[in-house]
């Protein structure tokens, strides 16, 4: 299993490189175990992987993983981010926690169950998908064609430090672009400075609140302005400036209405200043996840792993794509979520072994 994880970490699967190399590593592992495995490839380097075992029946267990990782970032790492360094009982590298450690554990658990010869009374499905960190393109492709028995439970193997998670906030990424008129830097009065227009908007957003009520599990809706870009040269009045907003939403919040509320803000600024011109566009839209804690799948899952309490988290997963098919979704995996997307990401080797045993127990509990 450690060898598999090291190969996966070394297979750089950032958006720039794509997921195909990582998918091939998993495919080789499954084929050695005699499992049926398929890679869905597009755009040369993008890929989903699906493997299946067991037999057709009235129920199924589906592991939903993602192959992609975020870039290592600009901060200096203590170890090379794609070298998978083993040290002090840990494996360091980009994706070790999010979520190639969990992938390695789930693949190992599936292979061990299959090699044991136990007869599965239903379908065991393993999926490793593209683009979760950017646009969930893999989950969209996979779920659009997914046909499973009615009694199917989905396990999203995000790092939860072995907490059973059944709810998370939705995600709404927006871009707002202010438009101006270019002019020579020595004659700014002949242009309209899009950065100045953006300053007006940013001042307005200081006091702007998205309408929402606090949720008992998920807390409050949040908004963060996380990127800004504008201007092409120091001697040119900029004709465009853009910001991106990361909004995390709650049940009953309407994403379309949120967009309309931003459009009202822009219209108000336009009324105050006729030269102000801006538009809002959608980058990404993911629904809230809220699995019924009292449903049969969640009860049986908690019983299998010996954990009574479920949790809610603030981050977003591919889970809502499966929930949209009326499938119960649980998020459960090894790794500390606070290590995700940070330099010197790692996973404890003991946690990998623990995850294998948990995943084996879940498979056998539901399918034997």
CB 307 within 8 A of CB 358: no
How far apart (Å, rounded) are the C-alpha atoms in residues 292 and 283? 29
Q: Where do the DSSP E strands lie in the chain?
A: 36-42, 46-54, 59-66, 85-87, 90-92, 123-129, 151-156, 164-168, 170-179, 183-184, 222-230, 236-237, 240-249, 278-286, 289-290, 310-313, 329-331, 346-348
How far apart (Å, rounded) are the C-alpha atoms in residues 345 and 285? 27
pTM assigned to the model: 0.91
CATH 3.40.630.10 in the chain is located at 2-168+288-367
Three-point CA angle 120, 167, 153, nearest 5°: 15
Instruction: Tell me the pLDDT tens digit for each residue of 249-295.
Output: 999 999 999 999 999 999 999 999 999 999 999 999 999 999 999 99
CATH 3.30.70.360 in the chain is located at 170-286
**What is the model's pLDDT at position 314?**
86
CB 264 within 8 A of CB 219: no
Instruction: Indicate the CATH number of 170-286 among 1.10.3720.10, 1.10.3210.10, 3.30.1600.10, 3.30.70.360.
Output: 3.30.70.360
Supply the DSSP symbol for 7: H
CA 6: distance to chain centroid? Answer: 21
Token pair, residue 102, equals 């969990």
Instruction: Tell me the pLDDT tens digit for each residue of 300-355.
Output: 999 999 999 999 998 999 999 999 999 999 999 999 999 999 999 999 999 999 99
User: How much is the average pLDDT of 138-156?
Assistant: 97
Token pair, residue 177, equals 């672009």
Instruction: Tell me the pLDDT tens digit for each residue of 42-78.
Output: 999 999 999 999 998 889 999 999 999 999 999 999 9
For residue 148, pLDDT beyond 90: yes
**What is the model's pLDDT at position 351?**
98
Instruction: Indicate the CATH number of 2-168+288-367 among 3.60.150.10, 3.40.640.10, 3.20.20.70, 3.40.630.10.
Output: 3.40.630.10
Sign of CA dihedral 317, 322, 326, 327: negative
Percent of all residues in the chain with a pLDDT value above 90, rounded to a whole number: 97
Q: What is the mean pLDDT of the chain?
A: 97
Residues 6+ apart with CB under 8 A from 245: 172, 173, 174, 175, 176, 223, 224, 225, 226
């Amino acid at each position: 299993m450690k060898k598999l994880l090291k190969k996966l970490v070394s297979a750089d699967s950032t958006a720039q490189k794509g997921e195909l190399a990582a998918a091939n590593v998993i495919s080789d592992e499954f084929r050695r175990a005699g499992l049926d495995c398929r890679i869905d490839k597009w755009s040369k380097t993008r890929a989903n992987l699906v493997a299946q075992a067991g037999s057709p029946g009235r129920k199924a267990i589906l592991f939903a993983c993602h192959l992609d990782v975020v870039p290592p970032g600009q901060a200096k790492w203590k170890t090379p981010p794609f070298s998978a360094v083993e040290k002090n009982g840990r494996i360091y590298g980009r994706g070790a926690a999010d979520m190639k450690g969990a992938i390695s554990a789930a693949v190992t658990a599936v292979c061990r169950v299959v090699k044991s010869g136990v007869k599965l009374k239903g379908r065991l499905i393993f999926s490793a998908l593209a683009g979760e960190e950017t646009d969930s393109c893999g989950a969209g492709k996979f779920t659009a064609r997914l046909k499973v028995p009615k009694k199917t439970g989905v396990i999203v193997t995000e790092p939860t430090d072995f907490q059973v998670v059944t709810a998370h906030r939705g995600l709404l990424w927006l871009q707002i672009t202010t438009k101006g008129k270019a002019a020579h830097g020595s004659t700014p009065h002949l242009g309209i400075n899009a950065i100045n227009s953006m300053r007006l908007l940013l001042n307005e957003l200081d006091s702007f609140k998205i309408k929402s009520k606090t949720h008992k599990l998920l807390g409050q809706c949040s908004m963060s302005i996380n990127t800004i870009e504008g201007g092409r040269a120091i001697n040119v009045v900029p004709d465009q400036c853009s910001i991106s907003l990361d909004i995390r939403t709650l049940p009953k919040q309407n994403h379309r209405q949120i967009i309309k509320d931003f459009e009202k803000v822009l219209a108000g600024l336009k009324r105050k200043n006729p030269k102000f011109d801006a538009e809002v566009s959608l980058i990404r839209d993911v629904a809230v996840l809220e699995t019924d804690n009292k449903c049969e799948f969640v009860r049986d899952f908690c019983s299998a792993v010996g954990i009574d309490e479920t949790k809610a988290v603030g981050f977003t997963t591919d889970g809502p794509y499966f929930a949209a098919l009326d499938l119960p979704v649980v998020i459960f995996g090894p790794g500390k979520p606070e290590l995700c997307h940070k330099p010197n990401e790692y996973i404890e080797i003991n946690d990998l072994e623990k995850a294998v045993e948990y995943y084996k127990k879940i498979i056998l509990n539901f399918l034997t």
